[in-house]
Structure 1
Amino acid sequence: MSFPTFTPRSTADEVAAAFAEQISGKTVLITGTSVTGLGFSSARAMAKYAGLLIITGRRPHKIQEAVDAIKAEHPSANVRPLTLDLGSFASVRKAAAEVNAYPEPLHVLIHNAAAEMGPFVLSEDKLESQFASDHVGPFLFTKLLAPKLLASSARVVVVSSGAHAQGTIDWATLAAPDASTYHPLAGYAQAKLANVLFAKALTARSGGRIQAFSLHPGAIDTSSAAGGETFKTLQAVGIFTPEGKPNTEMVQWKTLAEGGATTIAAAFDPRIEGKGGAYLEDSAITEQGINPAALEPANADKLWTVTEEIVGEKFTF
């Protein structure tokens, strides 16, 4: 079977249609699926074909909005809501226990949710909020679901960002955050670098039994309409104009539909099977734009060990 070559303008619907056979009958769990966000773009495209689509959010009414929107478009879709706050170990443990009790297998786990890119905030577990929600929570959730993932030779997809290339891991403050050294953009870049390292380490440590991929979805405007801290942070550095519009001179933007495409390719493209740990952009594996720190296995191993210490559990296979 031949598959198309995708472009930066390929949409989530186009990629999902190309891999309809691979998606068919699969159970997919994707985090962070509010109707105005990137995750919803991927979720609604997969819902047409998936056997079961599990979507998550911190607030039940927001998840139900997404369920209703998907069902309105695809009435026969099998969609299940799951309450999950990745910034809370307690919430992660509760949600993982619920998923582990499901009778269905789990074929694909997509980590899409992310914290606000704003002022220094501590999570309820006393971690910097972006690092907590974007890396530590997903690490713990994956660890708790590992037996289910291994049983189905699952793929794990971690939505990173091209901003990881500017990231550095501040090892001294991961477990003991320091407000005086924090900057929201640096915190974001660090968390997204952690995403790339996690995908590499998860594939390696599982002996390839779990294939994990990280990716850059492209620059997508999900914050200007909502305002909020992420918008304020990006406006302060000129990514949004003083009038609140996307700055097309600074950034090449994608639509939400285009932004959701690479996630689906990472989850289902059979051409990348066996290439776990790779990084994707524009729905294909790339080696361009990868932070050199992400290519050092020692960094992935150290982050893994530090994260185990933070969550208080060993992640073994």
Structure 2
Amino acid sequence: MTRYTAQSTSEEVCKDLSGQIQGSRVLITGVTPGSIGGEAALQISRYSPALLILAGRAIETLRAIEDAIKADTPSANTKLLTLDLSSQESIRKAADEVNALPEQIDILINNAGTMAIPYGVTKEGLELQFGTNHIGHFLFTNLVLSKKDLSCGIKVVNVSSLGHKRGPVRFYDYNFQDGKCYDKWQAYGQSKTANMLFSVSLAEKLGDKGVKSFSLYPGRIETGIGRHLKLEEWVKAGWKHEDGSINHDLDLNWRSLSQAAATLIVAAYDPSIEGSNGSYMVNNQVNNGEAADYALDPKNAERLWALSEELVGQKFSY
């Protein structure tokens, strides 16, 4: 099992796993300054990956994180990829761009996400959190995997959350009656559960063909993903005090940005966890005991795969 702890930082983990990082070709979605994905990209870039693809909606934001990486590591080989996970047209265009590269990626970190937002829908009419956090990544990942020689091996990391415990996938009504009975936290929980079930499916369907997949909870951290929450919501949840300061109760598992990004890096590069394909990670450790049963259930995973294929209008058989 992995030798890292909840206190392990990205700096420590990257230094230890430098041999695995060197020469790797990694794509990270949701890469913005001050985000977990941005921090992971910055840390990984210091240890000579052969290619680091930074994917996100806004090219200006991607250029900002690329500039930060180049200022720190001028030799870093970066590529920017415009990817809007709320648009299947954008996803297909981005996947075509990745598949046209002369070298195949070997690590995909599905980090992008949105949390507890007002009701909205994707370009295809799907509830925005489910459509972006899961369906978008499902389509993008499979479009890339279906064009790849899987025998070369690929790792797919799906960033989930403790918030998966707020609810299972609502197979009977994933769109919340088109918003009529919308609960933003249940919707977030549904999407994060879906992230975990996606890793279960990838391990089950493609594990014997060279694909490894892990889902994870990076710990509690305040980043731009919480920008839709008002202070009173943070206080009501017990995450902050009324003056806006963070409640550092140990049970809340607050992490620094570097500590939060560490679990992404461990999931992507640590060879010692590969015998636990499809598992859920917390604080740099495989910890399926911390997952809700419905979020790792193979039957739910298969049902979600079928629903996801229906919602993207394409079947993926390997």
**Equivalent pairs, count:** 313
Q: CA deviation at 1:275?
A: 2.3
Question: Residue 7 of structure 2 aligns to which amino acid in structure 1?
Answer: R
| Pairwise CA distance, 1:68 | 0.2
- Residue 254 of structure 1: aligned partner: 255
8 Å contact kept, 1:115–1:133: yes
Paired position in structure 2 for 1:219: 220
User: Corresponding residue for 1:85?
Assistant: 84
What residue identity is the alignment partner of 2:94? A
What does 1:1-317 align with in structure 2 at a 5 Å threshold? 5-49=3-47, 50-146=49-145, 147-148=147-148, 150-174=150-174, 177-208=177-208, 209-223=210-224, 228-230=227-229, 234=234, 237-249=237-249, 251-317=252-318
Native 8 Å contact 1:106 1:149 kept in 2: no
Q: CA deviation at 1:83?
A: 0.6
Contact 2:158–2:196 (Cα < 8 Å) also in 1: yes
Is contact 1:33–1:63 with CA below 8 Å preserved after alignment? yes
Alignment partners' CA distance in 1, 2:259 and 2:185: 24
Change (3 A) 1:311 1:234: farther
CA spacing shift, 1:193–1:29, aligned 2, 3 Å: same
TM-score using structure 2 length: 0.93
**What one-letter code is carried by the residue in structure 2 that aligns with 1:188?**
Y
Return the alpha-carbon distance in structure 2 between the equivalents of residues 113 and 82 of structure 1: 13
Percent identity of the aligned residues?
39
Amino acid at match of 1:40: G
**Shift in CA distance, 8/169, structure 1 to aligned 2, threshold 3 Å:** same
How far did 1:183 drift? 1.2
Contact 1:149 1:210 in 2 (8 A): no
Deviates more, 1:23-32 or 1:272-281: 272-281
CA contact (8 A) 1:55 1:63 kept: yes
Give the direction of change, closer, same or farther, for the CA distance of 1:113–1:177 in structure 2 (3 Å limit).
farther
Structure 2: state its 5+ residue gaps. Answer: none
- 69-78 or 239-248, larger mean C-alpha shift: 239-248
User: What letter corresponds to residue 31 of structure 2 in structure 1?
Assistant: T
Would the alpha carbon gap of residues 186 and 277 (structure 1) be closer, same or farther in structure 2, given more than 3 Å must change?
same
Tell me the TM-score normalised to structure 1 length. 0.93
RMSD: 1.9
Evaluate the alpha carbon distance shift between residue 148 and residue 112 of structure 1 in structure 2; reply closer, same or farther with a 3 A threshold: same
